Amino acid sequence: MLRTVLLKNGLRVHNGKARYFNCRGLGSCGTCAVKIEGEVHTLTEMEKWRLQFPPHKLNSGLRLACQVNVFHDIVVTKHKGFWGERISHEKK
């Protein structure tokens, strides 16, 4: 899963104290939410369940790193907020 790959490579997938207080990849806490650019599978049932309630929104476009398998190169962005839910809109 993406969460495991990121952590094994020393990259952050949790913000602040969520680093210590998270579900360890069960898909229930929502703190590993990230923006993914690139090809990945559709939302899993667990993601649909967790991303439907606050502070997340199901249509936010965020994914749960602990539920995503990666088979291609992707770009991952971690937004601010305990859950990574504070989406910043980059200017292009």
**Binding residues for ligand FES (CB under 6 A):** 3, 22-23, 25-32, 64, 66
Q: Nearer to ligand FES by C-beta: 9 or 89?
A: 9
Which tokens hold the place of 1?
């899963």
- Closest separation between CB of residue 91 and ligand FES, Å? 29
- Closest separation between CB of residue 68 and ligand FES, Å? 10
Within 10 angstroms of residue 18's Cβ, the number of other Cβ atoms is 19
Q: Nearer to ligand FES by C-beta: 14 or 89?
A: 14
Question: CA end-to-end span of the chain, whole Å?
Answer: 30
- Closest separation between CB of residue 72 and ligand FES, Å? 21
C-alpha 32/C-alpha 20 separation (Å) is 12
